[in-house]
Amino acid sequence: MRLLKPIDSCGIMLSYRCQCGCRHCVYACGPRWQGWMSRDLLEALLLAIRDTWENPRGLHLAGGEPFLNFELLLLAVEKCREYGLPIEYVETNAGWCTSYEEAREKFRLLKEAGLTGLLISCSPFHAETVPLRRTLTALQAAEEVFGPDRVILYLPHFVELIRRFEMDRPVPLSKWLEAYGLEEAGRLFWHGERTVSRKHRSFLERPQEGAFG
């Protein structure tokens, strides 16, 4: 008797290398890692997945930050298509995204290679190293290329909260602690804006800048 359903989803980390080094990263990715998966290993891995995966629903590509090695990322997407693997999305922290045109071009190349969607990270931990403007630039370019339904911003409720601190520079966690206090900030990181108490509402109700202004 089979106790577990066959796995229907899987992800491939092309590297542990990531310019962010978020404090909450479950894989302990960060800038100290240098290596990337070799092209041979990548191809062998994808072929092995194709040959053994009984219940393929969706595969995603991640890191680390996969856009730091765009050639390898593009190859991975091409190979997924060549081997008939259902690639769902690529994950990115958008920290590389300083130019709308460059982002759009990279997304266009990935789409041409077979990619149909993107996941962009957004949280107080990512905001410690990624200015919100880069996250929103990546979001806008990705929605133009893949369509709004094919781009996941994870997690969207943090956009407004981060925007109130800063658009163009990283926001250290200490700023959240100063604004909300330890307990409230902890709740906020876990649940989002709905848990903020009345005494902190005035901070949240400050006038907002335009997202791309």
Stretch that binds ligand SF4, among 39-47, 62-70, 103-111, 153-161 (CB under 6 A): 62-70
CA-wise closest residue to 151 among 192, 97, 208: 97
Residue of the chain from 79, 111, 126, 163 that contacts ligand SF4 (CB under 6 A): 126
Q: Which is nearer to ligand SF4, 2 or 23 (CB)?
A: 23
Q: Does 152 bind ligand SF4 (CB under 6 A)?
A: no
- Separation of alpha carbons 105 and 35, rounded Å: 25
Q: Does 186 bind ligand SF4 (CB under 6 A)?
A: no
Q: Which is nearer to ligand SF4, 97 or 196 (CB)?
A: 97
Q: Does 120 bind ligand SF4 (CB under 6 A)?
A: no
Output the smallest distance, CB 51 to ligand SF4, in A: 28
CB 157 within 8 A of CB 123: no
Output the smallest distance, CB 78 to ligand SF4, in A: 23
Span 190-209, contacts to ligand SF4 by CB under 6 A: none
Span 17-56, contacts to ligand SF4 by CB under 6 A: 18, 20-22, 25, 27, 29-30
Stretch that binds ligand SF4, among 16-24, 38-46, 168-176, 196-204 (CB under 6 A): 16-24
> Cα Rg for the chain, rounded, in angstroms?
19
Q: Which is nearer to ligand SF4, 21 or 172 (CB)?
A: 21
Output the smallest distance, CB 191 to ligand SF4, in A: 19
Q: Does 173 bind ligand SF4 (CB under 6 A)?
A: no
Residues that bind ligand SF4 in the complex, under the rule CB under 6 A: 18, 20-22, 25, 27, 29-30, 63-65, 93, 121, 126
